[in-house]
Structure 1
Amino acid sequence: MKFVTHIDEKKFTLFNENHPNGHALQSIEWGNLKCIGEWTKELVGLEDGSGDLQASAMLLRRKLPGLSRYILYAPRGYVLDYENIDLVKEFTKELKQYAKKTKAIFVKIDPCIIYKERTIDGDIKEDGIDNTKLIESLKNMGYAHKGTNLDFEGIQPRFVFKLDVDKDKDTLFKSFHHKTRYNIRLAEKKGIEIYEGSIDDLEEFERIMRVTGSRDGFITRPLKYFKDMYNTMEKQGKMKLFMAKYNVKKALDKAISDLEKEENSKKPNEDRINKLQREIPEMTELASKNLDGIIVSGAIVLLNGKKAWYLYGASDNLYRNLMPNYLLQWHMIAYSMDCGCTLYDFRGISGNLDPNHHLYGLYRFKKGFNGDFVEYIGEFDLVVSKFYYNLWEFWVPKVKRLIRKLRKK
């Protein structure tokens, strides 16, 4: 095997898109997006005697402040067969030498490799996959395991929901929980429409993203980041923006039609008639003020080979009762299937399935699509320089905490 750098981008992309462990966050386009900020990207790999790639990594490099040292990060880990321990060892050995030569103090990875196989309810399967030995093998190779936390403590989520979409749409739709199917149909009946967004829609998307962040307690990205993502990835077919709109005029027309049918029926439902009579004046006024409809939610999906990832989702506080996010997800799933994808990844959930946990609703929402509850093995740091790594891991955080305390006095 030969360790190579500066791999041809077309060759790298072909390998990443077709490998079982290929990932959108290992794509050239994702690396280009990150290069707009403080990172640079590098393509490295292992070639066999025929010049074919057997392992690859899109590495993001970042300089440490005040030091002539760097950190390297391979988002979602290396693209290789992790069951081939000899291959992992060889790539690790070569990569560690490369990192040392280029003054990196460690290489971070967070592979999409199952830790322990679980049921949809989060229970560990007795005879399921168990990669405890892989974790130990990585430790023996010099990787520091960052633990198995339950929430979103890492760079990437450790728990995700995945959906096999290698089937026809009718069969897939019927496999959803009956409440999920009901909410998708409800959104359509209530006038929710999904459309593919353009770069001009990002301003509204970023606005409702901030609303979502404030409601759910997380920091959001600025508008520039989303525009950079669109400009870097959309034309290459690596990302799509979808928006959900409340078509009030369409909902009003249906309400008027429903009222007429109810009033003319042989057994009119007086409660329903009264409800529609109350709603129609309000909807009439709302429709007159929002001729183009009202944006209620949006989402970004990433594509790589035959896989799709739900990356970002945003929803306004208004009209959540119309269930726009259910229809939005179904539309993105159907779109990924039209693109030839066989896997749709809902991404992050919490591993804490206590119904009282603040993230339980996220799990319940994604569970309704009847996918697979997946737990990954977590983050690992391939330590290159123990001195600088200890400085980074232990002393820098302590100094930062001390400075914050002094500022408060």
Structure 2
Amino acid sequence: MYTYKVGLSSEEHDAFAKSSEQANLLQSSNWAKIKDNWGNERLGFYQNEELIAVASVLIKPLPLGFTMLYIPRGPIMDYGNLELVTFVMTSLKAFGKSKRALFIKFDPALLLRQYALADAETAPENDQVLTYVKNLEQAGATWAGRTSDIAETIQPRFQANVYTAANLTETFPKHTKRLMKDAINRGVVTSRGDISDVTEFANVVALTEGRKGVALRNEDYFKKMMTIYGEDAYLHLAKVNLPKRLAEYQGQLAQINKDLAETAEHQKKRLTKLNQQKASVEKYIAEFSEFVNRYDDELVIAGILSVRFGNVMEMLYAGMNDDFKKFYPQYSLYPKVFDDAYQDGIIWANMGGVEGSLDDGLTKFKANFAPTFEEYIGEFDLPVNALLYKLSQFAYETRKKLRNKH
């Protein structure tokens, strides 16, 4: 009744993946080209010659000729069909044996819960998804459970996801709207860039790496991503023209001084307002005068690199020059990404993972854009070599803990 084949074409795989509610960038055929330190095979599963499930499998070499297989945000299939789930698991195990795999790790694009941050405590779990867990366990997979720490899984189990809409910014909190205006007042201009802008983007990412003590990616990696995904790669940059903005402030100050000279002493309210404006503009002039002496005329101060797959988007990398944190460039960048995504028919833009406790800095920042917080079902293991599986898991967990200490 069911059959499968190894070597499904990228066109067939991507067409099926894009049409599914489980569509995710990490199951795009091009993602394996990005992760070129892993091997890759695409498997197609059929019922009466009709494609009904797919899996893009990453293959990691291990010592002694063994491998580990990983299916990020997959396989893509009907998890409610126990017979199909069983066939896919059995087939994956057979494929794993052909690759000398010790185990197969996968984390399906199945959402256990979705909620606004304020409803995190009371939002119910999806009972249907819990039946999918039972089907997978019956088919031989082991569920890692409701993990909370972002470091416990390869992909985050919790994420902040923005569902696009025509007037999305109207749903943002008041302080977010205020900071969006502050960014505009400081002369921040946001636009979509191209591969020629990657060097400047990589520079602000490097500044973020240094500030946070984390290793992200370098210029060559970003260029590779822009090349492979082409028009599906969205590079958004926040820039400021320092001399131009300084001249505008100087012009404002001249006008304020003129207005003050022409205002009678009895116009107390007007004088108070003008003097407040003068103090504010003089502060900006002092700040910008310092920046003009230190930086180029037009400067990239922040950026975001995102990639679409079908009608969904992953916001993958972001960076900011911390000298310009009071310019609030993120509050210009993120709304621009969401708006461009909406205009291009993208239904959601994933801002990335957060801690399951929902009290970390990432959660607090991302909450400024009124996202939906989502919990994936999490990771599963499918043992292939039963004798070595437990030993390999011990080695895998030990390596992961050591990596997370750095």
Are residue 195 (structure 1) and residue 194 (structure 2) matched? no
Matched to 2:228, the amino acid is: T
Q: Secondary structure at the match of 1:188?
A: helix
Following the alignment from structure 2 to structure 1, what is the Cα–Cα distance between the partners of residues 317 and 289?
33
Q: 1:219 aligns with which of 215, 218, 228?
A: 215
Tell me which residue corresponds to 1:385. Answer: 385
Seen in structure 2, the aligned counterparts of structure 1 residues 112 and 261 have a Cα distance that, compared at 3 Å, is farther
Q: What do residues 374-397 of structure 1 show as CA deviations (whole Å, max 9, x unaligned)?
A: 111111111111222222212576
Contact 1:187 1:324 in 2 (8 A): yes
Q: What do residues 153-207 of structure 1 show as CA deviations (whole Å, max 9, x unaligned)?
A: 1211111011221x32xx2121111222222222122111123333343333333
Tell me which residue corresponds to 1:175. Answer: 171
Tell me which residue corresponds to 1:367. Answer: 367
Q: Secondary structure at the match of 1:225?
A: helix
Residue 104 of structure 1, CA deviation: 1.6
Following the alignment from structure 1 to structure 2, what is the Cα–Cα distance between the partners of residues 182 and 391?
54
Residue 128 of structure 1, CA deviation: 4.9
Tell me which residue corresponds to 1:149. Answer: 147
Following the alignment from structure 1 to structure 2, what is the Cα–Cα distance between the partners of residues 126 and 311?
27
Q: What do residues 89-127 of structure 1 show as CA deviations (whole Å, max 9, x unaligned)?
A: 221122112212332221111122122344423524455
Seen in structure 2, the aligned counterparts of structure 1 residues 151 and 252 have a Cα distance that, compared at 3 Å, is farther
Following the alignment from structure 2 to structure 1, what is the Cα–Cα distance between the partners of residues 11 and 139?
31
Q: Secondary structure at the match of 1:212?
A: helix
Residue 333 of structure 1, CA deviation: 1.0
Contact 1:121 1:373 in 2 (8 A): no
Following the alignment from structure 2 to structure 1, what is the Cα–Cα distance between the partners of residues 350 and 299?
28
Seen in structure 2, the aligned counterparts of structure 1 residues 400 and 71 have a Cα distance that, compared at 3 Å, is closer
Q: What do residues 134-158 of structure 1 show as CA deviations (whole Å, max 9, x unaligned)?
A: 3343233222223433232121111
Tell me which residue corresponds to 1:135. Answer: 133
Q: 2:108 aligns with which of 93, 100, 111?
A: 111
Matched to 2:182, the amino acid is: L
Tell me which residue corresponds to 2:305. Answer: 300
Q: What do residues 196-241 of structure 1 show as CA deviations (whole Å, max 9, x unaligned)?
A: 33334333333322332333343222333223222222x2x33222
Tell me which residue corresponds to 1:43. Answer: 42
Matched to 1:132, the amino acid is: L
Residue 342 of structure 1, CA deviation: 1.2
Are residue 242 (structure 1) and residue 242 (structure 2) matched? no
Tell me which residue corresponds to 2:245. Answer: 251
Tell me which residue corresponds to 2:342. Answer: 337
Contact 2:13 2:54 in 1 (8 A): yes
Matched to 1:162, the amino acid is: N
Following the alignment from structure 2 to structure 1, what is the Cα–Cα distance between the partners of residues 349 and 242?
31
Residue 258 of structure 1, CA deviation: 3.5
Identity of matched residues, %: 27
Per mean C-alpha deviation after superposition, the further-off stretch among 78-87 and 287-296 is 287-296
1:53-92 pair list within 5 angstroms: 53-65=51-63, 67-92=64-89
Residue 75 of structure 1, CA deviation: 1.2
- List runs of 5+ in structure 1 lacking aligned partners: 355-359, 403-409
Residue 300 of structure 1, CA deviation: 0.8
Contact 2:144 2:380 in 1 (8 A): yes
Following the alignment from structure 2 to structure 1, what is the Cα–Cα distance between the partners of residues 400 and 222?
30
Tell me which residue corresponds to 1:123. Answer: 120
Contact 2:314 2:350 in 1 (8 A): yes
Q: What do residues 329-358 of structure 1 show as CA deviations (whole Å, max 9, x unaligned)?
A: 11111111122111111121112134xxxx
Matched to 1:198, the amino acid is: D
Residue 306 of structure 1, CA deviation: 0.6
Following the alignment from structure 1 to structure 2, what is the Cα–Cα distance between the partners of residues 395 and 9?
33
Seen in structure 2, the aligned counterparts of structure 1 residues 281 and 229 have a Cα distance that, compared at 3 Å, is same
Query: Whose helix proportion is higher, 1 or 2?
Result: 2
Q: CA RMSD in A?
A: 2.5
Following the alignment from structure 1 to structure 2, what is the Cα–Cα distance between the partners of residues 192 and 348?
27
Seen in structure 2, the aligned counterparts of structure 1 residues 396 and 121 have a Cα distance that, compared at 3 Å, is closer
Q: What do residues 263-297 of structure 1 show as CA deviations (whole Å, max 9, x unaligned)?
A: 42761432331232243254245336645322211
Following the alignment from structure 1 to structure 2, what is the Cα–Cα distance between the partners of residues 142 and 336?
39
Q: Secondary structure at the match of 1:28?
A: coil
Tell me which residue corresponds to 2:20. Answer: 19
Residue 249 of structure 1, CA deviation: 3.0
Following the alignment from structure 1 to structure 2, what is the Cα–Cα distance between the partners of residues 259 and 231?
46
Seen in structure 2, the aligned counterparts of structure 1 residues 287 and 397 have a Cα distance that, compared at 3 Å, is closer
Matched to 2:73, the amino acid is: R
Residue 30 of structure 1, CA deviation: 0.9
Following the alignment from structure 1 to structure 2, what is the Cα–Cα distance between the partners of residues 290 and 119?
41
Contact 2:236 2:304 in 1 (8 A): yes
Q: What do residues 13-61 of structure 1 show as CA deviations (whole Å, max 9, x unaligned)?
A: 11111211011111111111212x2x12111021232x33211011111
TM-score by length of 2: 0.87
Following the alignment from structure 1 to structure 2, what is the Cα–Cα distance between the partners of residues 126 and 273?
50
Tell me which residue corresponds to 1:407. Answer: none
Seen in structure 2, the aligned counterparts of structure 1 residues 366 and 400 have a Cα distance that, compared at 3 Å, is closer
Seen in structure 2, the aligned counterparts of structure 1 residues 364 and 87 have a Cα distance that, compared at 3 Å, is same
Per mean C-alpha deviation after superposition, the further-off stretch among 22-31 and 237-246 is 237-246
